[in-house]
Amino acid sequence: QVQLVESGGGVVQPGRSLRLSCVASGFIFSNYAVHWVRQAPGKGLEWVASISYDGGNKYYADSVKGRFTISRDNSKITVYLQMNSLRAEDTALYYCARGGGWYFFDHWGQGALVTVSS
């Protein structure tokens, strides 16, 4: 079955960096786009970034543009989210999600918690 497992979360000081990973299984990874979506504690969902099946196209929410970088290694069936210059408002549970088509998210991981605090 389709599975996505995030890792790399933790507590980090403002201004520092963190890299999340999302390892996939149960499907042909190189055929699908992958997205990152986050959820601040007690809040709603917010789209963060997307990457096309081959890594050739990458898109970001305005709130993270210039600070976050999405990438993928299809040989390692993994998508990454490099987060730099972290702010308190980046504190959230970060989910990776498979793109069922380009316009929706059909399978989700369990999330990686990122806490930005001094």
Partner 1 sequence: QSALTQPPSASGSPGQSVTISCTGTSSDVDDYNYVSWYQQHPGKAPKLMIYEVTKRPSGVPDRFSGSKSGNTASLTVSGLQAEDEADYYCTSYAGTNNYVFGTGTKVTVL
Site for partner 1 in 46-105 (CB under 8 A): 46-47, 50, 57, 59, 61-62, 95, 97, 100-101, 103-105
Question: Residue count at the site for partner 1 (CB under 8 A)?
Answer: 24
d(CA 23, CA 7): 8
Buried b (16+ CB within 10 A) or exposed e, 18-57: bebbbbbeeeebeebbbbbbbeeeeeeeebbbbbebebee
In the complex, what is the shortest distance from the CB of residue 48 to partner 1, in angstroms, rounded to a whole number? Answer: 10
In the complex, what is the shortest distance from the CB of residue 78 to partner 1, in angstroms, rounded to a whole number? Answer: 18
Positions that interact with partner 1 (CB under 8 A): 35, 37, 44-47, 50, 57, 59, 61-62, 95, 97, 100-101, 103-111
